[in-house]
Structure 1
Amino acid sequence: MFKVGDHVVYPYHGAGTIRDIEEKDVLGETHSYFVLHFPLVDVKLMLPEKKIDGSGLRKIIEQDELDNVVEALKNGPELPPSTSHFSKETENLLKSGSIFDAAHLISSLSKKQAGRSNGLHIQDRNHLQKAKQMIASELVLVNNMSEEQAYEFIDSNLLELS
């Protein structure tokens, strides 16, 4: 299970830290809540302990898994996700909480962007930015990088796409 001080990833929010476990009285019942803080977006979230198992919450990756992230950034799927405004596939990749899904999405959308003279559709640009933010938030905690260094890490591993 998780404890105060653990660095974790919560799907679609990115990486943060468990700051506290609080007891709250709700309708006469006492419940435990994990208090998560996401520093890159400066958000605090309270997650009920009884919903942790189904929430997708996971510990951040280990340092030795960074090479796999680089590989995913460089070698994502050739076919980018649908440009449909309601792309379920793209949303599901972001909601999975997997750093590797986010890296594949960045790779695919970057390839798509490189192949288009007029850039990406607004929804694709938003998905690309969200995926980069999710990876950057985890890199900051895994590799003790600054936010700027994390984004540079992502972009430098995409250079071969141009």
Structure 2
Amino acid sequence: MFNVGDSVVYPYHGAGTIKDMEEKDILGEKLIYYVVYFPLNHVTLMLPENRIKESGLRKIIESNQLEEVANALKTSEVPEKKEAARPYSKENETLLKSGCILDAASVIANLTSKQGERNNGLHMEDRKNLDRAKQFIISELVLVNEMSEEEAMSFIEENAHGA
């Protein structure tokens, strides 16, 4: 499935690297755990091999998919109906939890568009989701194309309209 050294993405945590595989004896049952390190937020997780599929862990995108990410950053699907002061935080949180880079790019596109329409900026939850989405994408771009964090942020800003 995965090997030590693979670059992977875990929903809501972003991209990291499998540092080790450990066998643990839990209540008499031997389980293999992937030890994944996420450098952007300095977190290490141990994920049991038998729960990887449902966890959403996936390999990082290929560099030839960057154009698709750039397009997703440009495409905003903000609802036409203007609802006064209604943050889209639940929808955005659901997209961020999917672990899909295109969903994170969609959150950035939507919130960037919304930010441009509002005189007083985004609601606090929307700002948090925008930051989470950016960090999520940055963590993956750093591993995909060996970009620096600054280059990854520039990629996002250049492609997200009005960012």
Using structure 2 for the length normalisation, give the TM-score.
0.92
Could you say which residue in structure 1 is the equivalent of 2:109?
Answer: 107
Question: RMSD value over aligned CA atoms?
Answer: 1.8
Could you say which residue in structure 2 is the equivalent of 1:54?
Answer: 54
Runs of 4+ in 1 over 2 A off after TM superposition: 82-88
Amino acid at match of 1:57: L
Report how many residues are paired: 160
Identity fraction in percent: 58
- For 1:44, what is the secondary structure of its paired residue? strand
Residue pair 1:74, 1:157 contacting (<8 A) in 2 also: yes
**Shift of residue 117, structure 1, vs aligned partner:** 1.0
- For 1:161, what is the secondary structure of its paired residue? coil
Using structure 1 for the length normalisation, give the TM-score.
0.92
Could you say which residue in structure 1 is the equivalent of 2:141?
Answer: 139
1:59-111, CA deviations, whole angstroms, 9 ceiling, x for partnerless residues? 1000000000000001131339x865684322110000000000011000001
Aligned residue among 150, 153, 156 for 2:152: 150
Residue pair 1:103, 1:135 contacting (<8 A) in 2 also: yes
**Shift of residue 55, structure 1, vs aligned partner:** 0.8
Amino acid at match of 1:130: R
Query: What is the CA–CA distance in structure 2 between the aligned matches of 1:152 and 1:25, rounded to whole Å?
Result: 45
Residue pair 1:13, 1:134 contacting (<8 A) in 2 also: yes
Structure 1: tracts of 5 or more residues without a match: none
